[in-house]
């Protein structure tokens, strides 16, 4: 079974993968992909599945890694426009500062599809956006915490994603709004871990020091699994038990978080499918071959996984899928 079919099964995205809907499909089309970088396991998987899906469809994919810098993304996009590509995929590192380059793409009649993150720009500047409902992801994580701790006092520390990125803004909003309904749950510290494992560990070490060696912390909410895995290491280094002394809830559902669940060290993760390319290519196929305008927002699922959901099986199903 190829990588794309495996992703479709894992993420339940089969219905969105009818990429070869039109006779000509995307065979021979040149599509530029401005990727953020490789800050997380999830990001690596998104890159792998996009390349695999493009190869399967016969797309000539021009890939540009921006190494976390918006200026690199803008440069790459201008390069794609100069080459006269058929379409552009962008995973935007931050939400603001896109109007000018998106206007340039529009004036060149090149459709743009946003992947996994949103932008603060007029909606007519891009064809569609394939992403999760990131506010909902935060709310699902918050609801899980509420249902787990009930009305017991619970001090939460929050490790945020990249400053100014749509998932950091929205996952914070969704979680904060959900737990605000329960006065006994309080977010005592919040800091960016930049979506990386090493920074997640560093930030958690600081939280532990500041909160009585970690004894005052009831739960850590990390905006992605990689930062949660880093936080788990920091908790263990401090002589505490992650998953028991400090609850761990995060977002992505990458294989490493399922390993942590198997070890009893992580409690919940909200899934984000790395297969944004399937729906994106399906939308581009319909648009380029038939003029069909897709919905402005194509929203992927946000399923909650806990240790009750066969974490070993979920690990086995995901490992080797590009994470
Ligand atoms: O935009 C999606 C987020 O970016 C993922 O949750 C995170 O792992 C990645 O870095």
Q: Can you give the pLDDT at residue 167?
A: 98
Q: Can you give the pLDDT at residue 320?
A: 86
The boundaries of the domain holding residue 11 are 3-131+273-301
Which atom of ligand 1 lies at the shortest distance from residue 116's CA?
1
12 & 108 share domain: yes
| 300 contacts 130 by C-beta, under 8 angstroms | yes
Mutate which of 89, 141, 164, 272 for ligand 1? The one with the most ligand atoms within 8 Å of its CB, which is 272
84 & 183 share domain: no
> Does the residue 308 lie in any domain?
no
Q: Can you give the pLDDT at residue 321?
A: 85
> Does the residue 307 lie in any domain?
no
178 & 218 share domain: yes
Q: Can you give the pLDDT at residue 24?
A: 76
59 & 109 share domain: yes
pTM of this structure: 0.95
127 & 151 share domain: no
182 & 296 share domain: no
> Does the residue 179 lie in any domain?
yes
Q: What's the number of domains the chain is made of?
A: 2
- pLDDT tens-place string over residues 57-115: 999 999 999 999 999 999 999 999 999 999 999 999 999 999 999 999 999 999 999 99
The binding-site residues of ligand 1, defined as CB within 6 angstroms of any ligand atom, are: 39-40, 42-43, 116-117, 167, 195, 224, 226, 251-252, 272
90 & 219 share domain: no
Q: What is the mean pLDDT of residues 176-195?
A: 98
Q: Can you give the pLDDT at residue 51?
A: 98
First to last CA, the chain: 17
Q: Which CATH number belongs to the domain containing residue 15 in this structure? A: 3.40.50.2300
212 & 89 share domain: no
- pLDDT tens-place string over residues 225-282: 999 999 999 999 999 999 999 999 999 999 999 999 999 999 999 999 999 999 999 9
25 Cα–ligand 1 center, Å = 29
Q: Where are the beta strands (DSSP E) in the chain?
A: 30-35, 60-65, 87-90, 112-115, 128-132, 154-160, 185-192, 219-222, 247-252, 268-271, 297-300, 304-305
Residue 22 has pLDDT above 90, yes or no: no
């Amino acid at each position: 079974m190829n990588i794309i079919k495996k992703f479709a099964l894992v993420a339940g995205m089969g219905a969105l993968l009818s990429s070869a809907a039109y006779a000509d499909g995307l065979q021979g089309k040149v599509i530029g992909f401005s990727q953020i970088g490789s800050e997380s396991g999830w990001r690596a998987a998104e890159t792998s599945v996009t390349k695999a899906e493009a190869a399967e469809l016969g797309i000539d994919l021009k890939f540009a890694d921006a190494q976390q810098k918006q200026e690199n993304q803008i440069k790459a996009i201008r390069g794609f426009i100069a080459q006269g590509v058929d379409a552009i995929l962008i995973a935007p590192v931050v939400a603001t500062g896109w109007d000018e380059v998106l206007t340039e793409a529009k004036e060149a009649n090149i459709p743009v599809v946003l992947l996994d993150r949103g932008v603060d720009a007029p909606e007519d500047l891009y064809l569609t956006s394939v992403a999760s409902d990131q506010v909902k992801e935060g709310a699902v994580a918050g609801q899980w915490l509420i249902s787990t701790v009930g009305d017991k006092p619970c001090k939460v520390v929050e490790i945020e994603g990249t400053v100014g990125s749509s998932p950091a803004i929205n996952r914070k909003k969704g979680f904060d709004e959900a737990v605000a309904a329960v006065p006994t749950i309080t977010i005592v510290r919040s800091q960016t871990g930049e979506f990386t494992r090493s920074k997640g560990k560093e930030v958690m070490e600081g939280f532990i020091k500041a909160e009585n060696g970690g004894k005052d912390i009831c739960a850590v909410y990390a905006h992605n699994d990689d930062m949660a895995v880093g936080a788990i290491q920091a908790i263990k280094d401090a002589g505490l038990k992650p998953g028991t002394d400090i609850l761990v809830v995060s977002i992505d559902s990458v294989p490493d978080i399922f390993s942590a669940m198997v070890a009893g060290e992580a409690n919940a993760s909200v899934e984000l499918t790395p297969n944004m390319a399937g729906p994106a290519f399906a939308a581009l196929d319909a648009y380029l071959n038939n003029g069909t305008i897709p919905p402005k927002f194509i929203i992927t699922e946000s399923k909650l996984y806990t240790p009750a959901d066969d974490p070993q099986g979920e690990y086995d199903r995901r490992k080797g899928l590009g994470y």
